[in-house]
Structures are given as structure tokens and as C-alpha cells.
Amino acid sequence: MNEVMEPENNNTAASDAHTVDESVSFSKVTTVASQWMLDFMFVSLCRHFKEGKLDEFNEVLSIVDAISQSPSFNGKLHEEKKLICAFIARVIHGKQLEVLFEEDNSVMPLMSAANIWSNLEHTVADGSLFEKTAELLIAQSVAVCLEKGQRTSASSALKWFKNHHQFPQKLGAKLSKIVAQGDTYHPYLMNFTFNRLLETVQSYLDAYLEKNPSDYLLKAATEMVQSSQYTEDREDVKSEDSPVPKTTNELTTNSHKPKRKLLSSKMTDLLKPESSKKLCVSVKRLPTNEMDLAAGQIPQGWR
């Protein structure tokens, strides 16, 4: 009798599940799930930035770039997060002067980061932190060029900032003198090191995530892993208590079974240049409609 009723129960359960699915708009479910995924990728990106893991950062950034193209992400908070992703992408590549983010080849990563940072002022609770970060971006844009022996580029960067951004006259005067002297290790620059820039940006990210938690999917996945680990540990204990010996034939058969790879071990080189002469990270370049950032404006789709 139980065997006859069991399929009916299964059919009922399946029918109930189908009814639940039909009662909710799948497009709305997709939107919510996609937003969770973007939040998870955002948190992952911030984590890789903090740990300085460039390869992992680039891998996640390519995913963010892909899923953020969905029309589902048109809310103010998600637009902010996309801008922050673009900002920290430029900062983490700050010392790679050959990496391009804008159509103007003379705009180096930290210069491009300064453009975006000016549009993130409303997300910074601490005004002094905003000003400090802005000054670090300017100083490091110049310092990185000097470190690489590109004095002309350092001079061009300083001139670019004078034309596009407002910054303290004292900072401008000091940097102009340092560039004129070509003094890469001037004591003044020690107040504006790249590590200090990273630390300051990290402070901003910590404060932003505290105010705007994006860890729903992260917590759910963590709980799932912890639960699975607990189950696996108990199963391991049981197997140790009552081991099942394998026959010689079984051992021989298993030793010759090829291990199936679920994913290819070969990772796509996200920093692979389009030519041997110029490195271009296409996945991180701003689309044409986002180039208004260079003029200090937030594109219509990012407002």
C-alpha cells in the first residue's frame, strides 16, 4: 500500500512546487537572484583587492562586467557598486601604466580612478578621507611615472590634473618641483606612497560595506559549506569506525580510472594583450557611453 501511495505523494509535491513557481513572476525572481550574485561578486572583488590578488580580482571583475550589463541593475545602490568596482579596478592596476581604461591613451589608471572618485564623493561619510584619497591619487599618478623613469609622463599627468581637477596649491607646487628635479625618492612623496593609497581605499571599502551590507549570498553559501563540512566529518568518522576492505580487483580497477575534471585547469589570461606592443584590458575598459566620467559627469545609465 505504501509503495502505491508514494508516487502520488511525489506527484503532489511536484505539483505544489509547480504551483509556487507559477504564482511568482520568474523575471522578478531572476532579478533578485541576479542582484544577489552581483552583491556576492562585489564583496569578492573587495576581498581580492584587500588581499592584493590581482589574477583573482581580474577574473571576478570580468564576471561583474558581464552580469552588470543586465537591465535589472538600474537601482542607485547597484549603480554605486558598479562605479566602485570600476574605481578599485583602476587603483589595483595603478602601477601598470600600459593598461588602458579610457579612449584617451594618455589617461593612466590612477588618473582614470580620480575621474571616478570625484563621482563617488556622496558615498564617502568621512570628508577628510575623500580629500586624502584624492590627494593620494594625484601624487601617485606622478610618483609612479617617476619610478618608471617616465619624467615626461609625470609632467603630463600633473598638467592633466591641473586642467581637470581641483587640488591644494601646496600639493601642486611640491609635485611640480619634484617633477622638475626628477627626484623619484623625494621625502615629500613618502607621505603619498602607493601602499598608503591602498590602505586608504580599503578604509573606504570597509566603511561602505558596513553601511551597505552585500553579504546575503555569502552568508548563505558559508552556512551551506559549514553544514556540508559537518556532515562530511560525521561520515568520515563513521567510515573510520567501520572500514570496508576493498578486494584486490576493486583496488586495481579504481587505480586505473581516469579522474574526471569538472572544469578545465587552463585559465583564460585576462591580461593577455591584443598585440605584443600594447597591453589593453578590454574587459575593464569603459564603454563609450560611460566616457562622460572624464568630464566629471555620471552617464545617464549610471545615475
The DSSP code sequence of 61-73 is: HHHHHHHTTSTT-
pLDDT at 208: 94
Which 3 state secondary structure label does DSSP give 266?
coil
Q: Identify the pLDDT of residue 66.
A: 85
d(CA 289, CA 34) in angstroms, rounded, equals 23
Q: Where are the domains of the chain?
A: 35-215+274-302
**Contact between residue 269 and residue 45 where contact means Cβ atoms under 8 Å apart:** no
DSSP state, residue 107: -
C-alpha cell at 269: 589570461
Identify whether the C-beta of residue 33 lies closer than 8 Å to the C-beta of residue 216. Answer: no
Per the CB < 8 A criterion, the answer to whether 90 and 110 are in contact is yes
pLDDT of residue 234: 63
pTM: 0.68
Sequential pLDDT tens for the chain (303 residues): 444 444 445 555 444 545 456 677 777 777 777 777 888 889 999 999 999 999 999 999 999 888 877 776 666 778 899 999 999 999 999 999 999 999 899 999 999 999 999 999 999 999 999 999 999 999 999 999 999 999 999 999 999 999 998 878 899 999 999 999 989 989 999 999 999 999 999 999 999 999 887 665 555 566 677 776 656 666 665 555 555 444 434 433 443 433 322 222 232 333 333 333 333 333 344 444 444 443 334 333 333
Identify the pLDDT of residue 223.
63
Q: Which CATH architecture fits 35-215+274-302?
A: Alpha Horseshoe (1.25)
pLDDT reported for residue 50:
96
Nearest to 194 by CA among 100, 91, 281: 91
pLDDT given for residue 134 in this prediction:
97
Distance CA 49, CA 90 (A): 11
